[in-house]
Structure 1
Amino acid sequence: MQYEVKALSPENEIIALVVDAQDEAGARAQVEAQGLYPTRLAPVRTFRRASGSHGRISVVLFSQELLALLMAGLSIVEGLEALLEREGGARLRGILERLLGGLREGKRFSNLLSGQPDVFPPLYVGIVRASEGTSDLPRALQRYVDYQARIDMVRNKLVSAAIYPSILLVVGGGVSAFLIAFVVPRFAAVYEGTGHPLPWMSQVLLDWGKFAAAHGLPLFVGALCVVIVAGMAARAAITKIGFATLLGRVPLLGPHLRIYQLSRLYLTLGMLLDGGIPIIAAMETAGGTLTPAMRERMIRACAAVQSGQSLSAAFQAQELTTPISLRMLRVGERSGEMCAMLTQSAAFYDGEISRWIDRFTRMFEPLLMSAIGIVVGTIVVLLYMPIFDLAESLS
């Protein structure tokens, strides 16, 4: 593991460096051996889920590359050596070197992965550990890649559905702000010279426009402060209860977020069981992918299964099923095809979520466009109403 270190030199200068050590104590010892006094040590997070940044790749991309090399006939050591020769990033090279060093010492690959929890999640370690019993690492890697692709498909669809409304809100808000802060004050200057009484709503709009033009900077700073405070409050709430839990409290999103969580649970559990992991260990690992509230239910369901209860009955008691998935679980228990039933249940949930996203976007986007059009149109009409009144009086 790598650590970012800030240390004080004998010349009383602050020095920033990165050291490679097994734990924080080892990193501190390395720094002190150089005659420096460490003031701050923090582990470096090397892999991210996004795979577009320089020197960093996702675990999925790492698995895909290693899988391709293994399928080509290379051993795992040769595959990691090939990845190391190609890699130019210092952080990833450090990870690969530690994996290679451990394998050459005779350590198990899963133990080496679990020694870097900031890089490889427990789910990934679990399926690799299960594959070591069957000597089928390529299938385990392929299973994880397929699993992550299913998860990312739903997530990407949610993100794509949110992009267009976000653009509409930004553009609509920008046009409205431009009209009020720039166009309305100029119309107000023209109408003031006529001496003609203005409609009440037009007068209110013009007064707001003049106020915005006269106090533009304080209003901008105030709006920026409101955004910052709201962002900090949202971040504190996310840190305290989690982003998924926060979204789950939204009336329209709560039930569908529960379906998404159930889909992820069933897909994860099916993949782990298919990889040969025992049911209790699979349930404990799958529980780590859920929100805190559903994780507590999963823990109770796991305890019920340990006491001899069936999986379907335990899930039903903890409200971790829907009527359709409950029947599919019972069929899987009778037929012995629990992995297939879990995977099919997850696919059914994914289809339900996709249909809801499509319906929601078809309904929400026109409504949002209509609302923005009404706001902008109202501003324009109120600006021109005095001109219409003046034309009528002249005629």
Structure 2
Amino acid sequence: MATVATTTRSKPSAADIGRTRAQVNQSLTFVWWGTDGRGKKLKGEQVAKSAALLKAELRRQGINATTIKPKPKPLFGASGRTIKPREIAVFSRQIAVMMAAGVPMVQGLDILANGQANPRMKNMLLDIKTNIEGGASLAESMRKYPVQFDELYTNLVKAGETAGVLDTVLDTVASYKENIETIKGKVKKALFYPAAVLVVAFIVTMILLIFVIPQFESVFANFGAKLPAFTLMYVNLSRFVTHHWLIMTAIMVGAIVGIVFLYKRSPRFAHFIARASLKIPVVGQILTQSAIARFARTLGVTFKAGVPLVEALDSVSTATGSPIYNEAVKKIRGDVAVGHQLQFAMRQTELFPNMVVQMVGIGEEAGALDTMLFKIAEFYEQEVNNAVDALSSLLEPFIMIIIGIIVGGMVIAMYLPIFQLGNVVG
């Protein structure tokens, strides 16, 4: 008896269907030339799934397309610049506004993607749109880009999708990203200004030591004048720098690279640098207030979105911007997981001011923890603003004094021997 072999065809999975839809829905950017009903020449750029569909769409608009071809990729910078956190914050606000206005998610993503100047941002949004069209959720689509959409962001979006309040959650996320980026910008401003001025002062000093002082030294040598001790000190320093500048540069670059490498690879070293930074006058205060503000803002947003407190603390443990506070949040999470109150766990770390702990305690007792956390965040964000302004006012005269001492000292040292030249010539 012959055996008949039968072949069973398995039912395609949701993932296979999604991939098929994604391939079908993939769009390209075309450049077209044509004329309207009056014979006027027109040119444009549009995203479409094919040239034939684009030609039909243009015909529907009363445009006779004569040439349609894919937009060529630029030779350099085809991938575009890196997607910055500020761009994600702007996108979050835009998509939140569109969702609140009733614009469908796919259409909103398409509109935002076509309005992006950064090709990477545009391609990312188009890919997210394609995944959603293929059956994936917004949170799942965003998880493909963990650098731009971290775990906290995607968890909040997932909570909004599950509860059916995605538009409200997106609005909350947008406000959160804007506040966080604002406070990060304030901290960077506080640290960048003095660093930039000191770097410029260092460069000017090196130029004077390497190029200017040797010229003065040759003039003094021609007159045979005995140099004052103050001038001689700068001349000897100039000789040392001139002969050993290459070694000094190598040591400085090596030290910077070594510190950055250790900071990224060694948790103990990063912990040491972070703790030392918190002890710097004024700057340490800004870093502390910034970490508390980010802790309160992040925990308030996640808790308000319906995320359980223990899971919310998991998300917060990498969001404070400080290794010291990140480690403290992990300890708080462990204490809360075994049943301790949040205020008790925060007090044990000895990193949060008494006012913050008490406000959290009031919020827990009143059942309004998220509201109290937002008030804490607003207070400390304002404190960061005030501290940055105070730091700028304090550093401006201080930096001018340092530059005056360095540059002015060199000028005085070079002109001191001039008073002796008259005696030598006479």
Task: Give TM-score scaled by structure 1 length.
Answer: 0.76
1:113 is matched with: 142
Alignment of 1:87-98 (within 5 A): 91-92=120-121, 95-98=124-127
Alignment of 1:228-267 (within 5 A): 228-239=253-264, 240-241=266-267, 246-250=273-277, 251-252=279-280, 253-254=283-284, 256-267=286-297
Q: Residue 337 and residue 320 in structure 1: after superposition, are their counterparts in 2 closer, same or farther (change >3 A)?
A: farther
Q: Deviations over 1:107-133 (max 9, x none)?
A: 332233234424421111111111123
CA RMSD of aligned residues (A): 3.1
Report deviation, 1:320: 4.9
Report deviation, 1:326: 1.3
CA distance in 1: counterparts of 2:217 and 2:119, whole angstroms: 62
Q: Residue 200 and residue 87 in structure 1: after superposition, are their counterparts in 2 closer, same or farther (change >3 A)?
A: closer
Q: Would you say 1:348 and 2:370 are equivalent positions?
A: no
Taking only the aligned residue pairs, the percentage that are identical comes to 24
CA distance in 2: counterparts of 1:158 and 1:89, whole angstroms: 26
CA distance in 2: counterparts of 1:112 and 1:79, whole angstroms: 15
Is the 2:223–2:424 Cα contact (8 Å) retained in structure 1?
no
CA distance in 2: counterparts of 1:140 and 1:383, whole angstroms: 66
* More moved, 336-345 vs 311-320: 311-320
CA distance in 1: counterparts of 2:144 and 2:300, whole angstroms: 25
Q: Would you say 1:278 and 2:305 are equivalent positions?
A: no
Q: Does the residue aligned with 2:417 lie in a helix, a strand or coil?
A: helix
The one-letter amino acid paired with 1:350 is E
Q: Would you say 1:372 and 2:403 are equivalent positions?
A: yes
Q: Residue 112 and residue 168 in structure 1: after superposition, are their counterparts in 2 closer, same or farther (change >3 A)?
A: closer
The one-letter amino acid paired with 1:277 is V
Alignment of 1:208-247 (within 5 A): 208-209=237-238, 215=243, 219-239=244-264, 240-241=266-267, 246-247=273-274
Q: Does the residue aligned with 2:84 lie in a helix, a strand or coil?
A: coil
Q: Residue 62 and residue 227 in structure 1: after superposition, are their counterparts in 2 closer, same or farther (change >3 A)?
A: same
Is the 1:66–1:80 Cα contact (8 Å) retained in structure 2?
yes
Is the 2:93–2:175 Cα contact (8 Å) retained in structure 1?
no
* More moved, 74-83 vs 239-248: 239-248
The one-letter amino acid paired with 1:71 is A
Q: Would you say 1:193 and 2:222 are equivalent positions?
A: yes
Gaps of 5+ in 2: 1-18, 20-78
Is the 1:114–1:120 Cα contact (8 Å) retained in structure 2?
yes
CA distance in 2: counterparts of 1:95 and 1:212, whole angstroms: 50
Q: Would you say 1:141 and 2:170 are equivalent positions?
A: yes
Q: Does the residue aligned with 1:331 lie in a helix, a strand or coil?
A: helix
Report deviation, 1:344: 0.9
2:358 is matched with: 327
Is the 2:332–2:345 Cα contact (8 Å) retained in structure 1?
yes
Task: Give TM-score scaled by structure 2 length.
Answer: 0.71
Is the 2:213–2:235 Cα contact (8 Å) retained in structure 1?
yes
Work out which of the residue numbers 372, 376, 383 in structure 1 matches 2:414: 383
Q: Residue 46 and residue 245 in structure 1: after superposition, are their counterparts in 2 closer, same or farther (change >3 A)?
A: farther
Is the 1:247–1:254 Cα contact (8 Å) retained in structure 2?
no
Q: Would you say 1:203 and 2:232 are equivalent positions?
A: yes
Report deviation, 1:174: 3.1
CA distance in 1: counterparts of 2:240 and 2:337, whole angstroms: 68
1:33 is matched with: none
Report deviation, 1:168: 2.5
Q: Residue 87 and residue 298 in structure 1: after superposition, are their counterparts in 2 closer, same or farther (change >3 A)?
A: closer
Report deviation, 1:146: 1.2
Report deviation, 1:186: 2.2
Report deviation, 1:233: 1.0
Larger radius of gyration between Structure 1 and Structure 2: 2
CA distance in 2: counterparts of 1:199 and 1:128, whole angstroms: 72
Is the 1:45–1:119 Cα contact (8 Å) retained in structure 2?
no
Number of residue pairs aligned between Structure 1 and Structure 2:
344
